[in-house]
Amino acid sequence: MSGRAQLMWDEAVTGYDFGRDHPMDPVRLALTRGLVDALGAARGMDVVAARAAGESTLRLVHREDYVEAVKAVSADPASADGSYGLGTEDDPAFAGMHEVSALIAGQSVAAAEAVWHGGALHAVNFAGGLHHAMPGAASGFCVYNDPALAIARLLELGAERVAYVDVDVHHGDGVQAAFWEDPRVLTISLHEHPRTLFPQTGWPEETGAEDAEGSAVNVALPAGTGDAGWLRAFHAVVPELLAGFRPQVLVTQHGADTHFEDPLAHLAVSLDAQRAVQLACHELAHQYADGRWVALGGGGYAVVDVVPRSWTHLVAIAAGRPVEPATVIPESWRQEVYARTRQPAPMRMTDGRWPVSWKDWEDGYDPADRLDQAIVAVRRAAFPLRGLLA
């Protein structure tokens, strides 16, 4: 297997644009790519522009009638009437929607193929991670579900165990739905509690279909959870599950919307904690999946201050050259930010909280603490189904 890493990138992915006032501003992708270049974060990586996913690939997850509906509104956005989730406030139709959505999906599928076939050990598509799209509907800013398509392609190639870890602030509902009945795929999602955030799913009791019990794991975190609690929950759940499952490939989704500055959610996580989880996912891939790691982006709506820094850290970690948190951001990139957005750019690659720390689960828990209650709930619901002690 090659020790090299791949960065999946095609400038055309910035055409995934729902319009001027939509939270998912594609400038976040362009600024991330610019910061990666400014810091040399992808040095040593192969930068690959893959082909768009074809219809046979899209149908690994999505219904044929849905793909045809996307193509129709892509050609004539004015025809979108809300059916199939297209033309809604969350997912407005736009010209070329099918083509650019398939292009993003193609990058994630190609990343999975490269890791499976040994062309790369790690592959990153920060334009991907569109985890809400359902087999027959757009949802939550997502048209085609590229994480699910990447996993489905791995199964098609012969993978027998694929683990998916989603740390976006929103539940990874579309990926869970795609593999609800498939014990070959373990989906783990850490997200804000469904009582307080879209899509109102991801309860601990959601553990998979009858023939795949324990294949879905959901950590529903209280609103306001910060660095110590987020990292405590991650380490209390994810490593033990991966150790038992022994995936052949680890696919991770790194939505940056857990951040305390994100305007659409209510967690209070720092960039430094996000970096810590990225490092942990890299280590877990080497511990339990022979290093095979596909890392994707996701949500994130603080498009200047947070997203570019978070995903640049992700790229650098995959490249084997992590960027130190105290690194000063080059003035050239800061000028690019101002030129594009008229906003001031951050000065360093940190929120000033590195190194982050948390209390290990093995050191005991407080039954009156809401965060610890959330961890207990998921361990009791899912762990016994996987032969693990709650």
Give me the active site residues, please. Answer: 132
d(CA 235, CA 242): 11
Query: Rounded to the nearest 5°, which phi and psi values hold at 115?
Result: -70, -40
Give me the residue label for tokens 């292009």.
103
Amino acid (one-letter) located at 364 = G
Asked if residues 143 and 101 have their Cβ atoms less than 8 Å apart, the reply is yes
Name the residue among 195, 245, 246 with its Cα closest to residue 217: 245
d(CA 211, CA 181): 6
What DSSP character marks residue 89? S
The sheet carrying 46-48 orders its strands as 46-48, 5-8, 122-125, 293-296, 249-253, 162-166, 185-192, 216-221
381: Cβ–Cβ under 8 A, 6 or more apart, which residues?
204, 205, 207
- Give the pairing of strands 5-8 and 122-125: parallel
d(CA 107, CA 278): 20
d(CA 368, CA 14): 46
d(CA 248, CA 260): 34
Classify 62 as helix, strand or coil. Answer: coil
What DSSP character marks residue 13? G
Name the residue among 303, 326, 322 with its Cα closest to residue 313: 322
